[in-house]
Structure 1
Amino acid sequence: MTIQKVIIMLALLTLFTTTPKANAVDSPWPEIRKQRINKLLPNALKAAKVDAWLIVCRENNNDPLAEHIGCENAGSPAAYLFYFNKGAFHSVAYSPSSEAKALDELNIHEKVISVPRSVSALKYAAEFIKKQPFERVAINISDLNAQADGLSHSQYKQLANLLGAKQTAKLVSSEEVVYQWLSIKLPAEVEIMKEAAMLSATWQIEAYKTIIPGKTTDADVAKFLKAKMKARGVTDAWAADQNPNVNSGPDRGHSHSTNKVIMPGDVIQIDFGVKLYNRWVSDIQRFAYVLKEGETSAPANIQQYWINARDSGFAAFNAMKPGVRGIDVDQAQTVLMNKYNSEPVPWSTGHPVGYVAHDTGPNLGGSRSAQVRPAAHRKLKEGMVFAFDGFFSWPLNNTEFKTISVEEMAVITKNGAEYLIPPQQNLILVGNN
């Protein structure tokens, strides 16, 4: 590791050891949300070629994007409309009168219109839409993206009835709007994700130091990491039962940590992520080898497997830049995997990460699969953040395999990709105690 990388790591360590707990009430989300609506959403509407975007919110079964637009506290149904008028971007919330004042005080939207509780807020929105020269109005219905599929069937029927056949024909899926909006992260968001990534990586290294070969189980390591999360006040980046995934045995894919005892000669995987401010997540994997009696380094074959995986990850990283398709990033790694004679790996090279571990954006996969996801043909853009793996897989026996999938995080800049934290350069060694 270079001196420059050490300095960066020390600076980030100082940051997250001196900042408040990540679930504190002084979350940066309210201000970031405003910036995302005002700076990024207009571009998303233009890129999706829609004139307006309508979101319906309600209590208990709310839209997946409710917190992104400020309607997370909706009680009675409310309607939120983002649109262009004479080239200018506007946002208006049609809110029940009992909630309108509090919503207006948040200063998220240009206008909050108070709707009598006896009247449907959606009716107000529909009447406004019918008076506008909109040609395409996006609503949250999608076959491919759950984040863009928040409008229920009953809400759609109500909207269609209020709009009439002519206006209903102008309704389109918001899938492209949501894609263009969520896939880009603001610099302030990237900084928070750097902190999340550093926490994940640092705690994994600490966890490896607690292992006593022949005694410690995978589940014990997972419990150590859960305790670190609790003490810090952060939550899980994905399903709690599978975070962290600690595996010292054959490949198990996305899974929970078991009571397998960690033994000398094992290669250990930790797949781990944390969520900061109940909003932004990390997804980092670190790998270790458990030394056998008399060993001071990993055997030559294991060391080579590690180098193969690490370098394959570097190849993917070097291919990541604006304008490159996700499938092309995957192919850059596949070339090295084939060169090194890796066993087949079923997973994509990488995926967007941000508000969830598998976020909206280009899929870095497809070159090793007969079926290519549409998102793999999407192009990378500045501001996108990815978690991506460096792969190498080898057989343990006739039916079981072990895969090194060292996972890093990177943000796309105008000049290429930039690691969020220094990548793992060397296989971690767990010594006999």
Structure 2
Amino acid sequence: MKAIYRLLLLITTLVIGCADSNTSSNSEVAEINPETYWGESPWPEIRKKRIGQLLPKALKAANVDCWLVICRENNNDPMADHIGGENAGGTAVFLFYNDDAGFHSKVFSPSGEATALDDLDIHDEVVSVERGTSAVNMAVDFIKEKDFRTIAVNSSDSNSVADGLSYTQRQNLEQLLGENAKRLVSSTDVVYEWLSIKLPEEVEILRRAAQLTADWQIEAYKQVVPGQSTDADIAKFLNQKMAEYGVKDGWAPDQNPNVNSGADRGHSHATDKVIMPGDVIQIDFGIKVYDRWVSDIQRFAYVLKDGETKAPKDILHYWESGKAGNRAALAAMKPGVKGVDVDRAQRVLMEKAGSDYVMWSTGHPVGYVAHDVGPNLGGSQASHVRPASEKLIKEGMTFAFDGFHAWKLENGGVKTISVEEMAVVKKDGAEYLIAPQEDLILISSKN
């Protein structure tokens, strides 16, 4: 039955997509049922699998015996929903550790939430903490009993999602640990090693999100009427598609999508600039599916001038240069390679092609957020190298990455083609999540 619903939805979507955007009625939009299209969120099972399969390896890679996370109501830890602590009321302590018997997860939870947490069946043990008793005290007693050498806590100066432990929580924890407080270390490496790797099931979700992201951009270009349509019109069309399919913005709504047919504006909102013949149009767009996984894809178009049947030689050169850089970056993206080396691989081609300098990194991890945890693909031509650029690429990592070419416009501004695709790293190299853009999309100036 679900398959029939999805087929009907696909047919409905195609009909709406072919209709003029100005004639789409509210009733048509209402017919789209996001729950039918996406189905039930797979996150609960994926989260359980990530904790059981990937977290033990992350602890070992970070050389940490135990990871402690404190969750609470209203001002929760950024890692809460990754470990099952998103519904915490009173203070709860989550412990993850390796010992001679293997990997374990143990939670000290207030009695009011313990039953529901135990029902999730993602932890080995949920200890119910009675009212008037401190979950932190009980966790510290257990830590002392186990005599862990290193205890990672969420205090980090480089990773915001690994920096959820408040100052007062840290003070209380150190006081209770006493001499053992010197064994506390940052969870930066644990969180990095864990979140940077995606399960195959997650990669498939990202693949599907990336395809929708690219398809909608191509559909948006078909709506453009040179001399009338604005960058903001394209953004409005894509916002409507997100609403129809029940997905969210991949990043800040005010800047998603970033549509730009003029000079570079960096990370920006779409303006009321009118799209004209001779313009190169950039769409930088991402969606969030299941309220969890994020895509980040760019597609480029050229608006033909009167008498043109293809883009002029200089524009084609810029496009092919950017595309070549993207392909070079993909070829360099292998397990054991540093992020900075992927950046260098495409920068060499940029220089040969005569590109102006581009300040952006070649790429970044993408998954739970647009700029996710993992190696940064940049730094080879920067005044300083980000620490994450020196990290090694590993199998299971997912990236959004560009091939660049920048040139000066007649008005003195700079325009950059940034051929952005998404890829997953496999054992022997990286592969695109979806078919990459091979040619500039051409928009006729004739109505």
Question: Is 2:399–2:424's contact at 8 Å kept on the other side of the alignment?
Answer: yes
- Between the aligned partners of 1:276 and 1:123, the Cα distance in structure 2 is 39
> What is residue 380 of structure 1 aligned with on the other side?
393
Displacement of 1:294: 1.4
Does residue 287 in structure 1 map to residue 300 in structure 2? yes
Displacement of 1:369: 0.4
Q: In the TM superposition, what are the counterparts of 1:159-238 in structure 2 within 5 Å?
A: 159-164=173-178, 166-238=179-251
Does residue 36 in structure 1 map to residue 50 in structure 2? yes
Does residue 91 in structure 1 map to residue 121 in structure 2? no
Displacement of 1:384: 0.1
Alignment-mate amino acid for residue 271 of structure 1: D
- Between the aligned partners of 2:38 and 2:197, the Cα distance in structure 1 is 25
Pair 264,397 (structure 1): closer, same or farther in 2 beyond 3 Å: closer
Alignment-mate amino acid for residue 176 of structure 1: D
Q: How many residues align?
A: 420
- Between the aligned partners of 2:148 and 2:94, the Cα distance in structure 1 is 16
SS at match of 1:198: helix
Question: Is 2:33–2:245's contact at 8 Å kept on the other side of the alignment?
Answer: no
Does residue 425 in structure 1 map to residue 438 in structure 2? yes
Does residue 57 in structure 1 map to residue 57 in structure 2? no
Displacement of 1:278: 0.3
- Between the aligned partners of 1:399 and 1:101, the Cα distance in structure 2 is 65
- Between the aligned partners of 2:170 and 2:133, the Cα distance in structure 1 is 17
Pair 267,203 (structure 1): closer, same or farther in 2 beyond 3 Å: same
Alignment-mate amino acid for residue 21 of structure 1: P
> What is residue 417 of structure 2 aligned with on the other side?
404
1:36-58 Cα deviation digits (max 9, x unpaired): 00000000000000100000001
Q: Which moved more, 1:32-41 or 1:111-120?
A: 111-120
SS at match of 1:394: strand
Pair 82,329 (structure 1): closer, same or farther in 2 beyond 3 Å: same
Displacement of 1:243: 0.4
- Between the aligned partners of 1:46 and 1:14, the Cα distance in structure 2 is 45
Question: Is 2:62–2:189's contact at 8 Å kept on the other side of the alignment?
Answer: yes
Pair 417,24 (structure 1): closer, same or farther in 2 beyond 3 Å: closer
> What is residue 7 of structure 1 aligned with on the other side?
none
Alignment-mate amino acid for residue 246 of structure 1: V
> What is residue 318 of structure 1 aligned with on the other side?
331
> What is residue 81 of structure 1 aligned with on the other side?
95
Match of residue 280, structure 2, among 247, 267, 270: 267
- Between the aligned partners of 1:233 and 1:353, the Cα distance in structure 2 is 21
Does residue 47 in structure 1 map to residue 72 in structure 2? no
1:269-308 Cα deviation digits (max 9, x unpaired): 0000001100000000000001111111111110111001
Does residue 125 in structure 1 map to residue 139 in structure 2? yes
Question: Is 1:16–1:195's contact at 8 Å kept on the other side of the alignment?
Answer: no
- Between the aligned partners of 1:15 and 1:262, the Cα distance in structure 2 is 35
Alignment-mate amino acid for residue 284 of structure 2: D
Pair 419,183 (structure 1): closer, same or farther in 2 beyond 3 Å: same
1:343-381 Cα deviation digits (max 9, x unpaired): 000000000000000000000000110110001011110
Displacement of 1:197: 0.2
> What is residue 149 of structure 1 aligned with on the other side?
163
> What is residue 372 of structure 2 aligned with on the other side?
359
SS at match of 1:357: coil
Q: Which moved more, 1:21-30 or 1:97-106?
A: 21-30
Pair 283,150 (structure 1): closer, same or farther in 2 beyond 3 Å: same
Q: Mark the runs of 5 or more structure 2 residues left unpaired by the alignment.
A: 1-5, 12-31
- Between the aligned partners of 2:301 and 2:411, the Cα distance in structure 1 is 24
SS at match of 1:411: strand
Alignment-mate amino acid for residue 208 of structure 1: Y
- Between the aligned partners of 2:38 and 2:222, the Cα distance in structure 1 is 30
Displacement of 1:117: 2.1
- Between the aligned partners of 1:158 and 1:311, the Cα distance in structure 2 is 55
1:163-195 Cα deviation digits (max 9, x unpaired): 11x110000000000000000000000000001
Displacement of 1:27: 0.4
Pair 162,17 (structure 1): closer, same or farther in 2 beyond 3 Å: farther
Match of residue 339, structure 1, among 352, 372, 375: 352
Question: Is 2:55–2:194's contact at 8 Å kept on the other side of the alignment?
Answer: yes
TM-score (norm 2): 0.92
Alignment-mate amino acid for residue 233 of structure 1: G
Identity of aligned residues (%): 63
Displacement of 1:132: 1.2
